[in-house]
Amino acid sequence: MRFPFVLIAAAAATGLVALPARVLLAQGRESGDSGRSGRLERRIQEPDRLMRIVMNRRARLGIKVNLQARDSDSLGAYVESVSPNGPAAKAGLRSGDVITKLGGKSVLSGGHAEQEGEQRQSLPGIRLIELAARLQPADTVPVEFLRGKDRRTVSVVTEDEPDMFTMRLPPSGGFHEGMPMPAGEFMDFGPGDRFEFLAGSPLGDLELAPLNPDLGAYFGTTEGVLVISAPKDGTLGLKGGDVVQAVDGRKPVGPSHLMRILRSYDRGETFKLDILRNRKRETVTGRLAERER
Amino acid sequence: MTHLSMESLLSLREAGLEPGDAAAREHLESCSGCRAELDRLHQRVARLKALPALRPTRDRWPQVAARVRQERRARRRRIGGLVGLAAAASIALGVLVGRPAGGLPAGEQEIRQAMARSQALESALSQIHPDERVLDGRTAGIAQELEDRIARVDRELEMADLLGRQTRDDQLLKLWRERVGLLDALVDVHVTRASNVGL
C-alpha cells in the first residue's frame, strides 16, 4: 500500500504548488484579510469576480463570447458560439458576429481588466459579461452587432440559465467557490430518462407543424401550432387538425416550443389546452400517458 | 395487502426504479382507493406546476444568492478533504502527463480547430430551419435534450475561459470537443429526422 500513498502525497503537493494563489485568496477572503499580496491578488480577483458573475447569473443570452485578447477587440466582442435554439439564436445572431452594444450600452467602454503578462483578456468580452449580468429572464434587450461590415440590431429575449442542479459538487481543497466542474462529468441524464425517446415517450407519436400564412388562412388563425397527428390513445386530448393556442396559459410560438412546454409535465399530469377545432375555440384537458406497465 | 404508503405512491411516479414496485403495482390494479390517491397526487403536482412562475424582485436576488452560496460552502466543507486530494492528484497527473515541456501550448491550435468545426456545424444547423417543418415528438425529445446539454456546455465554456491559463486550455479543449460532438448529433437528428438515430 505504499505506492498509492506516495502517489497521493506527491500529487497533493504538486496540486497545492500549482494552485498557491487560489489557496491564498480563498484563505484571505475567509479570514477577512484582504490586503495581502496585492498585485498577485488583483490579477486573480478579476477572473474570480467574473466567475462569480457567471455562476450567479440568472438570465442567459445563449452565446459564448471570446474572452482572450484578439484583433476584433477594437470593434466589439467576438461571438465564438451561439447555443442552438437559445435566445440569441432565435433572434438571428450567429457565431462570428461581433457585438458592439448591449441594451444601448457600448461594450467598448468601462471594462477594467488587468492587461499584463500572458493572460491578456478581451475587454469588450468582459464588458459584455458585466452588462449581461444585469439581465433577468424574459427581458427583451437590443443587441447591436457587426456581421462583416454590416451593422445590425436584433432584440434578444433572455431565458433562464440552464439547469445546473445535476452538477456534482466541485472538488474542494485547493479550489474555491465558483470554480467550474471538470468537463463532461455532470452531463448524465436523470435516471430513467435516457431511453425514454426509444421506449415510448408519451409525446413520441405527436406530430406538429407550424402555421404558415397559407395554412393559417385555411384554419382561420395565424396563432398557434397545428397538430398533424396525435397519440392514438387520446390521452393528450388532441386530434389531427387541432390548432393549439395555449397550454395552461402558455402560448407556443412554434412546434418545438410546444413540445418543450408539453415535456415540462410529468407522466400522469393534466393540463388545459386552448385549441381551435373546426375553427371553433375549445378548451380540452390533456394528460401525459403513464408508462406502460 | 394494506393500502400503499405515500412513499410507494411517489416511487410509482418514477416507474420501475424501486424493487417493491411490482407488488405495489399489483395492488394498484385491484384497489380503486389507491388509484384515486395516485391520481390525486399527479393532479396536485400538475396544479402546482400550472401556477404562474414567481420571481423575487430584482433587489432580492443578491441575498438569495449569498444564502445559497453560504449553504453550499458549508456542505462542501463537510465533504471536503478527500475529494480535494483526489482532485489535486488527478490535476497534477494531468499536468505532468498531458503537457510536454516548452513551446506553444499544444492545446491552442486544437481549440481553434474545434471552435471552427463548431461554427461550421452551427451554420449547417441554421440552414435547416427545424421550426419551419413538421416535428414529431421523438425528434423533439432528442433535439431538446441535445440543445439543453449544449447550453450547459456553453456556460461551462464561459467559466473555463476565466480560469488560469494552465487549467483553462485543457478544459476549453475538452468542452469544445464535447460541443462539436453534441452539435454533430443535433444536425444528424434534424437531417435524418431521428428515424434511425440510436441515442
Instruction: Give CA–CA dist B170/A122, Å, rounded.
Output: 20
Q: Are A72 and A128 in a shared domain? A: yes
Q: B138 contacts in A (CB within 8 Å)? A: 197, 201, 203-204
Among A160, A187, A222, which residue terminates a domain?
A160
* Facing residue for B13 by CB, picked from A161, A228, A266: A266
Cα distance from A128 to chain B (closest Cα, Å)? 12
Q: Is A114 exposed, middle or buried (0-12, 13-18, 19+ CB in 10 A)?
A: middle
HSE value, Cβ hemisphere, 13 Å, CA-based, for B87 = 25
Q: Is B26's Cβ below 8 Å from some Cβ in A?
A: no
Q: Is there a single domain that holds both residue A85 and residue A144? A: yes
Determine the residue type at A130.
Answer: E
Q: What is the pLDDT of residue B108?
A: 83
Q: Among residues B95, B83, B121, B19, which one has the least CA distance to residue A185?
A: B83
For residue A122, CA distances in Å to A44, A54, A77, A81, B126 come to: 16, 16, 8, 16, 27
The tens digit of pLDDT for each residue in A129-155 reads: 999 998 999 999 999 999 999 999 999
HSE-up (13 A, CA, CB side) for residue A204 = 15
Are B142 and A191 within 8 A, CB to CB?
A: no
Residues 6+ apart with CB under 8 A from A25: A41, A44, A45, A48, A176
Has residue A19 got a pLDDT over 50?
no
Q: Do A169 and B157 touch (CB under 8 A)?
A: no
- Identify whether residues A214 and A271 lie together within a single domain: yes
Query: A211 and A156: one domain?
Result: no
Q: How many domains does chain A have?
A: 2
- Domains in chain B: boundaries: 6-50, 108-199
Residue type, A275: I
Q: Looking at CA atoms only, how far is residue B8 from chain A in angstroms?
A: 16
Query: Packing angle between helix B21-30 and helix B32-50, nearest 10 degrees?
Result: 100
pLDDT, position A78 = 96
Contact B144 A256 (CB under 8 A): yes
CB proximity A182 to B under 8 Å = yes
Let me know whether A64 and A156 are in one domain.
Answer: yes
State whether A151 and A224 are in the same domain: no
Q: Which of residues 213-272 of A touch B (CB under 8 A)?
A: 228, 248-249, 254-257, 259-260, 263-272
Q: What is the pLDDT along chain B (199 residues), one digit of tens a residue?
A: 578 877 777 777 665 555 567 777 788 888 888 888 888 877 777 777 777 666 666 666 677 777 777 777 777 676 655 555 555 555 555 444 444 444 445 678 899 999 999 999 999 888 887 778 888 888 888 888 899 999 999 999 998 888 877 778 888 999 999 999 999 999 888 887 644 434 3
Chain A residues close to B178, C-beta within 8 Å: 183-184, 187
- Residue B25 grid coordinates: 403495482
pLDDT, mean over chain A: 76
Residue B9, pLDDT score? 76
Instruction: Report the CATH number that the domain containing residue A265 is assigned in CATH.
Output: 2.30.42.10
In this complex, the residue of B89, B157, B171 whose CB is nearest that of residue A7 is B89
A129 and A63 within one domain: yes
Q: Which residue has the higher pLDDT, A249 or B198?
A: A249
Structural domain boundaries enclosing A130:
57-160
Q: Which helix (H) or strand (E) holds A77?
A: strand A77-82
The CA-based angle A292-B3-B4, given to 5 degrees, is: 50
Alpha helices in chain B (DSSP H): 6-13, 21-30, 32-50, 61-98, 106-128, 137-160, 165-192
